[in-house]
Amino acid sequence: MVALNVGVQVIQGPLKLQQLLEPVVTGLGYEFVGIEYQVHSQNALLRLYIDKEGGVNVDDCAQVSWQVSALLDVEEPVQGNYTLEVSSPGLDRLLFNAEHFERFAGQQVKLQLESPLDGRRRLRGKLLGMSGSNVMIEDESQQVEVPMELIKKARLVAAV
């Protein structure tokens, strides 16, 4: 993980940030996994996840961080103090889109929901993939369909 402190208000939303940063990451030969933006009291954290065949190392993160930082300095999509962090997705990787839910079908997943589904905001089970715009998981031997728009955060459960 490589972090740089940079000069907190997002002028452009996360989708705009993704559209700005993804071409840079893929142009360097990496997979753009996703982006997280968290606002804290003193500053914010802009975390960019990258991957490649065989995994990424600190030099990969540094190379992407250098390029992305230069672009952010020119485009200024975020105002105020923030930290840019470039990281591998890790074993307990976040799942950001439908392609991720399909790719990691068969693995254990934890879902945190924006609002309750059948009285629950947290689900854990075997990821079955997608059905239309719904994520399918097997939770306690029953299948559960979770609309993508309800998912606040989805993360693989690292095998121990």
- What does the alpha-carbon distance between residue 130 and residue 145 come to, in Å, rounded to a whole number? 9
Nearest to 151 by CA among 142, 137, 143: 137
**Residue located via tokens 């993939």:** 129
Does pLDDT of 16 surpass 80? yes
One-letter amino acid identity for 75? E
pLDDT tens digits for range 51-99 = 999 999 999 999 999 999 999 989 888 778 889 999 999 999 999 999 9
pLDDT tens digits for range 21-46: 999 999 999 999 999 888 887 888 89
The predicted pLDDT at position 2 comes to 41
Predicted confidence at residue 58, as pLDDT, reads 97
Domains of the chain: residue spans and CATH: 2-87 (3.30.300.70), 98-156 (2.30.30.180)
Token pair of 24 as six digits: 């840079």
Least confident window among 4-18, 24-38, 130-144: 4-18
